[in-house]
Amino acid sequence: RKEVEQDPGPFNVPEGATVAFNCTYSNSASQSFFWYRQDCRKEPKLLMSVYSSGNEDGRFTAQLNRASQYISLLIRDSKLSDSATYLCVVNLPDYKLSFGAGTTVTVRA
Amino acid sequence: GAGVSQSPSNKVTEKGKDVELRCDPISGHTALYWYRQSLGQGLEFLIYFQGNSAPDKSGLPSDRFSAERTGGSVSTLTIQRTQQEDSAVYLCASTLHPGTGNYNEQFFGPGTRLTVL
């Protein structure tokens, strides 16, 4: 079983729509969680950290469910510029980050 | 300030040749990571350095792969006798505060796109 699993998508949504997707992780000892964004043929960049109580950053909302071992990302009022691959990232106890394969989102005009 | 830099940005080589990939982390970052990303795939962890030592080499695919870091800064990933399946983007990342429970954003370099013919 992979350490981090994501629905690859693609999620194809119109501008202004809300899109949400999850990832699951297998190591219950994981302590830190992140969403990274990767544009086509570019390096990944941190989008936001995910805190236990859930957190928002503008149009982006991240939530963590430790009991079920999943993390979610919701994008409200989506923009064309939100089109990217979103990587779910989990900090394993041995300092290593484990990356999901990514969820592709395409926002169309 | 300067981010993580990698060189070369692109490398085309013939099967069987050795290649050397370089990573310059952000100044002061103690931890350095190498990943590999094949087309349409997620990031595959290769090796992690804390300072000059590599506590975790578990991701290196074979003994043709090796890496070193000198002076707690620049790192070199070497692939000997390259094979076509080594073709991928090799990404380097550095972080200031490695460790569980800490905020340890990894800053990535632009990657080296390796093509083995």
A101 and B106 in contact by Cβ < 8 A? Answer: no
Tokens of B58: 């578990």
User: Which residue would you say has higher pLDDT here, B58 or B17?
Assistant: B17
User: Distance of CA A24 to CAs A1, A2, A100, B67, B100, Å?
Assistant: 11, 9, 9, 31, 19
H/E run at residue A103: strand A103-108
- A14-30 pLDDT, tens per residue? 999 999 999 999 988 88
What percentage of chain A carries pLDDT values higher than 90?
Answer: 73
A95 and B43 in contact by Cβ < 8 A? Answer: no
Residue A58 banded pLDDT, cuts 50, 70, 90: very high
- Identify the closest residue of chain A to B32 by CA–CA distance: A96
Taking 60 as the threshold, does the pLDDT of residue A96 lie above it?
yes
